[in-house]
Structure 1
Amino acid sequence: MIDMPPLQFAETNGIRMGFYEAGPRTDTPPVVLCHGWPELAFSWRHQIKALGDAGIRVIAPDQRGYGATDRPEPVEAYDMEHLTGDLIGLLDHLKIDKAIFVGHDWGGFVVWQMPLRHAARVAGVVGVNTPHWDRAPMDPIALFRQRFGDHMYIVQFQDPSREPDKIFGSRVEQTFDAFMRKPVARPPGAPEEQPIAGVGASARLNLAFPQMIANYDAKHDPRIPILSAEEKKVFVDTFTKTGFTGGINWYRNFTRNWERSAGLDHHVRVPALMIMAENDAVLPPSAADGMERLVPDLEKYLVRDSGHWTQQEKPDEVSAKLIEWRRKRFG
């Protein structure tokens, strides 16, 4: 049985946002959990229960474009100003002054922006796998293209034909079968790319996820799934209904976000925690090297034997660390 609190709704920043809440409303500062792509508030189901049971107020929204939350049509409606503004509107709706923002994957990029753009509303920040970086020296899409080539998934997502959206949308179960698995444990010194059945080396090396999904067959995949059949059904049913365009539109704002962040001070001046996953091939622990320069009040914590979906692969460890850090820093 999947244990999730009842779905609630907030009118925020011009959209209706679905969210879940647990723990005592008197607890401050509350913890806001922000998911990544292609995920949902449901990705935090283990932490919602653990933090709520520990007496911590916890809130997990389906973010703009996802799940029970609205999916505006214009691509620009998914830029960083909108994504951070949605979370401020959620605090306003709940009459919360300040919160600790926790983000995984794309949610991590959003929560690291919160203290830069809305400092008065942020008590602390936790990145799960996603580190905080300074503003890139050039347009990130040009950087990705230079480093990984045109087949890298984020570069492909810029294509106005929306071909990747169609590939994922027509193979929803395949998408979650392929993504939501533990990585193959690799011997020390072995390269980070993991062989995935039916996918050529070039697709893996270029992070060509649409092609990987188009050619994927779960029957030949030796990796262990991290979702039960019941959990997978939640993702598959939701994305079958919503499609993937809302979430992919976040990626279509990389250039816009970069252009509009010129002049923004990238120093984070609140207590921060960086949770890293040992075997995340996309956001490896090394990606967090040197973060201390921008985030002076930083604690780092490594989750061993976990791939990219850390809060679902190692739920008890992630929950315990969040509870321990929250109590240590905020009482």
Structure 2
Amino acid sequence: MISQSQFPTPTLISVNGVELEVFEAGRENAGRPIVLCHGWPEHAFSWRHQVPALVAAGYHVIVPNQRGYGNSSRPGAVTDYDIEHLTGDLVGLLDHYRYQDATFVGHDWGSMVVWGLALLHPGRVKRLINLSVPYQERWEKPWVEMMETILGGDFYFVHFNRQPGVADAVLDQNTSRFLRNLYRKNQPPMALEPGMMMINLARQETPSGEPVMSDSELAVFVSAFEASGFTGSINWYRNLDRNWHLLADANPIIQQPALMIYGDQDPVAKSENLSDFVPNVEVVNLDCGHWIQQEKPQETNQTILNWLERQEVKASLL
């Protein structure tokens, strides 16, 4: 268990027209930057197990609460959360620290932003590590439109877009219960149920499986979302089709060295053709669910550090 007091003290940094709450450690390792990008509905604190290990390995660790989260800015316009803005924030962080490029690590939605960063700003990404969510190829039709056709209007990605504000209000009213019910591991297989999954979770009386974190750790997430609400973070979903259009002209092939870490019990589907789009990717599977770096912190750290060390050796031989 890691308390909030053991996590770095945040600083507000102005980038790309917003302020980001940034947790930084290992400044003595300047020149070896690694940026950790959380997912939904998460917080920079989700990387609490990785920060000390990366600092000890000689990295300058930069962990932002991305726009819409924590004490970072929460712009009012939905379009302020598209992939150009989200990746622009990370470019702005590099500029702030005067780095040309960095290693980027993403989990869940953070993975989608890191993939997008490599597409839109390839010169700023030295190498990338993503957890749970693989590269999403650009389908013939926009993503939400395709999801609605295949998965229906209650699928939460679709619901967030087609019924704006409905889920936000339910999650805001049930923040503690929703996050308690969501952050679980070793859950039995669940049958599909009618209604919208995230709304159902927010109203569910009894959680299944086991908690991913201690009550005090969970309290960090709960207090953050009680203060910020969920709308800013959900607005990331409301730009999926806009992102589809924004990525139309990007070269879809990511050439940088990449590590993809899956959880074998994660409901997020693995990619069947990842290496077609990310030819220099290495894939590792861990025996866990969706919250990979929190469920299996030591295994995640070792996987990341071993891969980074191999990349450093390869680079030194070139």
Fold shared per TM-score above 0.5 = yes
Q: 2:170, 2:199 within 8 Å by CA — same for their partners in 1?
A: yes
Q: 1:29, 1:123 within 8 Å by CA — same for their partners in 2?
A: no
Alpha-carbon distance in structure 2 between the residues aligned to 1:41 and 1:26: 20
* Matching residue's letter, 2:244: W
Partner of 2:246: 260
1:180 positional shift: 0.2
Secondary structure of the structure 1 residue equivalent to 2:80: helix
* Matching residue's letter, 1:230: S
1:216-227 superposed matches below 5 A = 216-218=204-206, 221-227=207-213
Partner of 1:212: 201
Secondary structure of the structure 2 residue equivalent to 1:264: coil
Give per-residue Cα distances to partners, 1:61-102, cap 9 Å, x unaligned: 000100021000000000000000000001111111210111
* Matching residue's letter, 2:187: V
Partner of 2:193: 202
- Can you give the 5+ residue segments of structure 2 that lack an aligned partner in the other structure? 314-318
Q: 1:102, 1:125 within 8 Å by CA — same for their partners in 2?
A: yes
Secondary structure of the structure 2 residue equivalent to 1:33: strand
C-alpha distance 161-254 of structure 1, shift in aligned 2 (>3 A): closer
Q: 2:34, 2:102 within 8 Å by CA — same for their partners in 1?
A: yes
Structure 1 residue 270 corresponds to structure 2 residue 249: no
Q: 1:124, 1:272 within 8 Å by CA — same for their partners in 2?
A: yes
Q: 2:38, 2:106 within 8 Å by CA — same for their partners in 1?
A: yes
Alpha-carbon distance in structure 1 between the residues aligned to 2:129 and 2:164: 35
Alpha-carbon distance in structure 2 between the residues aligned to 1:77 and 1:24: 30
Secondary structure of the structure 1 residue equivalent to 2:162: coil
Secondary structure of the structure 2 residue equivalent to 1:236: helix
C-alpha distance 119-29 of structure 1, shift in aligned 2 (>3 A): farther
Structure 1 residue 315 corresponds to structure 2 residue 303: no
Alpha-carbon distance in structure 2 between the residues aligned to 1:163 and 1:133: 27
Alpha-carbon distance in structure 1 between the residues aligned to 2:41 and 2:68: 11
Q: Percent identity?
A: 37
Q: Please, what is the CA RMSD of the aligned residues?
A: 1.5
1:114-263 superposed matches below 5 A = 114-159=117-162, 161-184=164-187, 193-194=189-190, 201-203=192-194, 208-214=197-203, 216-218=204-206, 221-263=207-249
Structure 1 residue 113 corresponds to structure 2 residue 109: no
Structure 1 residue 102 corresponds to structure 2 residue 105: yes
Q: 1:275, 1:302 within 8 Å by CA — same for their partners in 2?
A: yes
1:184 positional shift: 2.2
Q: 1:10, 1:16 within 8 Å by CA — same for their partners in 2?
A: yes
1:140 positional shift: 0.9
Secondary structure of the structure 2 residue equivalent to 1:82: helix
Alpha-carbon distance in structure 2 between the residues aligned to 1:169 and 1:66: 14
1:302 positional shift: 0.5
Alpha-carbon distance in structure 1 between the residues aligned to 2:177 and 2:299: 28
Alpha-carbon distance in structure 2 between the residues aligned to 1:29 and 1:135: 32
Partner of 1:297: 280
TM-score (norm 1): 0.90
Alpha-carbon distance in structure 1 between the residues aligned to 2:209 and 2:26: 35
Q: 1:183, 1:194 within 8 Å by CA — same for their partners in 2?
A: no
Partner of 1:66: 69
Secondary structure of the structure 1 residue equivalent to 2:49: helix
1:156 positional shift: 0.9
Alpha-carbon distance in structure 1 between the residues aligned to 2:210 and 2:231: 28
Alpha-carbon distance in structure 1 between the residues aligned to 2:159 and 2:186: 24
* Matching residue's letter, 2:273: G
Structure 1 residue 54 corresponds to structure 2 residue 36: no
C-alpha distance 269-241 of structure 1, shift in aligned 2 (>3 A): same
Q: 2:101, 2:123 within 8 Å by CA — same for their partners in 1?
A: yes
Match of 2:47 among 40, 44, 67: 44
Give per-residue Cα distances to partners, 1:37-65, cap 9 Å, x unaligned: 00011111101121112222211100010
1:318-329 superposed matches below 5 A = 318-329=300-311
C-alpha distance 160-222 of structure 1, shift in aligned 2 (>3 A): closer
C-alpha distance 262-161 of structure 1, shift in aligned 2 (>3 A): closer
Aligned residues between the structures: 310
Alpha-carbon distance in structure 1 between the residues aligned to 2:27 and 2:83: 30
Secondary structure of the structure 2 residue equivalent to 1:233: helix
C-alpha distance 231-326 of structure 1, shift in aligned 2 (>3 A): same
TM-score (norm 2): 0.93
